[in-house]
Each structure stands twice: as structure tokens, then as C-alpha cells.
Chain A
Amino acid sequence: MNDFTTWDILRNLLLAARWTVLLSLVSFVGGSLAGLALLFARIGKGRLGPAFAKTYIELFQGTPLLMQLFLAFFGLGLFGIDVPAWLAAGLALILWTAAFLAEIWRGCVESVAKGQWEASSSLGMGYLQQMRWVILPQALRVAVPPTVGFSVQVVKGTALTSIIGFVELSKAGTMVTNATFEPFTVYGFVALIYFCLCWPLSKSSQILERKLNVAHRNH
């Protein structure tokens, strides 16, 4: 009665997993760029920048990603703008990632000792020079492990986009289940593929943490 072999199931899931990977990459790269801009606004000296960035971050951290996806997908539709699922998914995930990365990175920048700012100031460096040559190189070492760690959240976050109809791994799982009536096998594979994507990221985050700590052992 069931014409689907296990390989059929797995093959279809793997094909869909490409979209999960692509969406994750787009979200992470786009989110990093937007997050960097947000970071500079957040720690800048003006009054408008930090206020805007703070509100933005609180808004995106304080609401479920699912609501953000709904708003991007259905909300813009209300204004007569037809948003395809892939665009809404990409946009919402980029904005969401940016908020979290900016906040992670702010912590990293602030973890650089105050004396570093003072020493570089006393040597005559301006704000951007201090950032470029003294603060960010040190913050970067601190930032790599949590940033890579957060990329796991991005990969898993893409699963939610199935609800607005973007066909990635989770959505494909549902579709294959509807055809095969083998939810346990299908979702088992889906989970396994997610794990194969996420585990190396978590692991490399741990390894990087250890490595960067050794290089920085006395500080």
C-alpha cells in the first residue's frame, strides 16, 4: 500500500534541507550585517541611536519569532503588499537574528576592560580608531563562541517558517508525512538532519571557546 521507500523519504527531506541551510545562511549573514549596524547604534555616543537600537532589540527579543513571521507575512499583506513566503521568512529571520547578535556583541564589547579605552584615548586615538585597533579585536575573541553558538538557534528558528508556508525541512517533513502516513520515521529523519546541522556548530563553538581562552589565558 505504501509505495515510498525509506530512501524516497530521506531523499525528499534532504532536498528540502537545502532550503533550511540556505535560509540559515541568509539569516545569519544578513543578521550579522544588520546586527553590526545595530551594535554601533547601541553603543554609540548620540542619544537617538542607542534609544532606537535598544527599543528595536527589546521588541524583537520580547516577542515570539512566530509572531514576527506572521506580521511580516500577513501584516504587510494587509497593506496590499504581496509578500512571498521566502521573502517574509528571510526578512523576519534577518531582523530577529540582528537583534540577538547585536545584544550578544554589545556584551562582548563591554567586556573589554575600561583601561583599554583609557590607554588608547591617552595615546590620542579617536573613537573609530580605538574601536578598529583596540576594542573590536579583543571583543572578537570573546564574541566568536557565543556567536557560533547562536547560529544553532538560527538553524532551529528556520523551522518556524514552515508555518507561513516556506518549504524547508520541517514543512517538507509535514508534506512527506501526509503522503506516507509514517510520521515517526519522517520526523525522526527530520530531527536527525537538524541534529547533523546543529551539532557541528555547537561542537565548534565549544572548541573555539577553549582555543580562544588559551590564547587569552591571563586576561
Chain B
Amino acid sequence: MSLIEITEVKKRFGDNEVLKGINIDVEPGEVIAIIGKSGSGKSTLLRCINGLETIDEGSISVAGAQLLPDELHLKALRLKVGMIFQGFNLFPHLTAGRNVMLSQMVVRKTPKAEAEAMAKKMLERVGLGHKFDAYPDQLSGGQQQRVAIARALAMQPIALLCDEITSALDPELVNEVLAVVKELASEGMTLLMVTHEMRFARDVCSRVVFMHQGRVHEIGPPGEVFANPKTAELKQFLGVVH
């Protein structure tokens, strides 16, 4: 059984069908890059996996937890998959450390001392142990995004969803975030990332999914997808990017 099973998922916004039957199975430890033009449905797919969008048809399950629209099922699912956003979405009224501690204490009911130790460990892991008491607005974009990663990791998810996590960053800050992601990948974390970083996708990912008009247009190992695009759309897309 795969870790994440996405079966025939359809999603409409009004008359606009954004996902037209998506099938992807993700094995534990896989790192999957989802690429495609804007509007191809890649972010929507990611948001569906975390229950931020409801799906109209099909099913999604993560390690046996089924995506259902009630709060109990959603919570069970969200404890298994963490999500990192393009805009970081740190809680601005809390310090970096508190950002990482909050959900542990509120959702998992972890005692404060334990949550604090975990927060320190996770911030250390993303190279920001010394920023425990800094507020988000005192951190650079790259640092904020690393805190967001630490915050997601503190919940000990079995997979991480990354939604264009470097797109809002200045070019010189992209690498520090990608380095953290790369390390997670090498430690065996299952990752699904929507990204425009083609070089990163080629170097780090085990499979690349090319989405086009709400469908999985091509899927395969990066070597194959990038070197040997089968469809005209992917050729054109890669041509545009390179």
C-alpha cells in the first residue's frame, strides 16, 4: 500500500474544473516535484491533500487516514501531513520558538517543557536555534520559511507538502531553504512539492509530475522527464523555463 493514494480526484470551482481526475500514488520516502504552468491545478492538488480544499470526486488517503470533510477526519489527516506555504504564514504575534511550540501544546497537548525542547531541536535542525526568541518580522524571508518548516516538523508528520515555498523569496535566500528541504529528503522524509526550481527537481526528486489543464500529463523520474519529454506541452513548458 502506498503512503499517499490519490485516486480519480476531481475539483471544481463553480463551472471551472480545476482537477479532472488525478491519480498519483506516493511511496514512503519519495520526493515528488509537481511542475506545470500556473492554473494547471498543481497548488490546488496540494491543498486538497491537506484538506484546505474539499474534493468533489475521488479519494485521497494518507497512511490509511481518509480525507473526509468532518473535523475529526481532517485533524487525523493533518497530523500526518505537514504543509509549508509560499507566504510562510508564521504567526506574527508569537516568537519563532512559540510558533513551533503552539500546535504541539494546543493540538497534541504536549507539556510546555517538552514542546519547548522539541521547538529548540527543530529550530536547530533548520539552522535557527539562535533565533528562538525572535519575532517573525525580525527574520528574513528565508529564515521565516525555515521556521515554518520547523513548525511543521515539530508535529512529526510522515509527509510534507511544500507549496512553492521559495517563490516569495529573494534569489539569494532560495538556497538556504532548499538546503533544508534537501536534507529532509536525504533523511527519508516523504515530500510533495510544487516548485519552479527545475534544477532542484532534477537533482533531488525521485519523480516529477507535470500537470497540464487539471490532469497529470507526464510522470516519471526526473532524468526521463527532463531529458526526454514525450508531449508537446511539456517540451514547450521546459522550453519556456530554460
Q: Which residues of A contact B (CB under 8 A)?
A: 113, 115-116, 118-127, 129, 133-134, 137-138, 141, 216-219
Contact = CB atoms under 8 A, between A and B. Distances in A.
A127 B107 CA distance: 11
Contacts of B51: 121
B199 interface: no
Contacts of A121: 50-52, 74, 78
A126 B78 CA distance: 11
Interface stretch (B87-95, B172-180, B217-225): B87-95
B137 A141 contact: no
A71 to B, nearest CB: 41
A124 B78 contact: yes
Contacts of A116: 89, 91
B155 interface: yes
Contacts of B83: 118-119, 122
Contacts, number: 67
A119 B165 CA distance: 13
A133 B137 contact: no
B137 A219 contact: yes
A126 B71 contact: yes
B204 interface: no
Nearest to A130: B106
B137 A124 contact: no
A190 B102 CA distance: 51
B214 to A, nearest CB: 22
Nearest to B82: A122
Leading 4 A-B pairs by shortest Cβ distance: A119-B89, A218-B137, A123-B103, A115-B89
B79 interface: yes
Contacts of A217: 137
Interface in B12-55: 50-52
B107 A125 contact: yes
Of A115, A122, A126, most B-chain CB atoms within 10 Å: A122
A50 to B, nearest CB: 19
A122 B106 contact: no
Interface string B41-79: 000000000111000000000000000000100110011
Nearest to B103: A123
A119 B88 CA distance: 8
B151 interface: yes
Contact of B103 (A120, A127, A138, A219): A120
Interface in B173-210: none
Contacts of A120: 91, 103
Nearest to B99: A119
Contacts of B152: 122-123
Contacts of A126: 71, 75
B85 A115 contact: yes
A124 B93 CA distance: 19
A121 B89 CA distance: 11
A147 B51 CA distance: 35
Interface string B136-166: 0100000000001001100100000000000
A133 B102 contact: yes
Contacts of A127: 71
Contacts of B148: 119
A113 to B, nearest CB: 8
Given A118-B52, A217-B137, A123 B89 contact: no
A122 B78 contact: yes
A137 B79 contact: no
Contact of B50 (A122, A125, A218): A122
Given A124-B103, A126-B71, A129-B107, 13 more contacts: A118-B52, A119-B83, A120-B91, A121-B50, A122-B78, A122-B152, A123-B152, A124-B75, A124-B107, A138-B92, A141-B93, A218-B137, A219-B92
